Structure 1
Amino acid sequence: MKKLKPFFFPLFLVFLVFSLYIPFLNNGFVSDDIGGIVETAHTWTFPTVAVTKTVIHAQMLVWYVIYKLFGLAPWAFRLVNILCHAVSVLLVWAIVFRLTSRLHQVPSGT
């Protein structure tokens, strides 16, 4: 049970992210989404939407895949954003957990 304890807090953080963002899942596109997604989606072709000579644009690739799977459904774009927020929260938690657990370790061999 002690080994499971560190995982309760990150699960709580993911729950918190979803509970804060899920109420807005069915909202429509707003502000820069209209110009960046709605008005340009019909021009996206693979791979030119995501790959240039030197750069692979992950955001455009993800938008292209969402558009091909779900069309211009705002909830699909928003759900991916919520998942990205949850992953970001977990990464920050992992970094802080790792750094603070090292602070509490007693150096051996002194």
Structure 2
Amino acid sequence: MSIQVQHNPAETQLKDLGVAKWPTWKKEVSTFDWTFHEQEQAYILEGECVATPVGGAPVHFGKGDFVVFPAGLKVSWEVKQPLHKHYRLDGNVVTQTWLRLKAAFTK
């Protein structure tokens, strides 16, 4: 289970995926832990980050990168420069809610 980073993907790839229509998310400079309950695809509009998977090596990414985080991945985030990204989660609202509820009750 590893984070995949594609530096400077082709505009045609981003257009085919519909990235411009995905929601956006912002985060200030900070550190925090996160679990990806479903796969997330992200296109980094601004910022610089390091995501370190539990038991793994740090992964660096930033502006212009396309990043895929696999479902079930637990990471420690270090947002070095304010982050602004487009993102898409696998599944729909029902499955996403179910995965979060399931995780909350199995801790």
Common fold by TM > 0.5: no
Structure whose residues are more often strand by fraction: 2
Structure whose residues are more often helix by fraction: 1
Q: TM-score, normalising length from structure 2?
A: 0.23
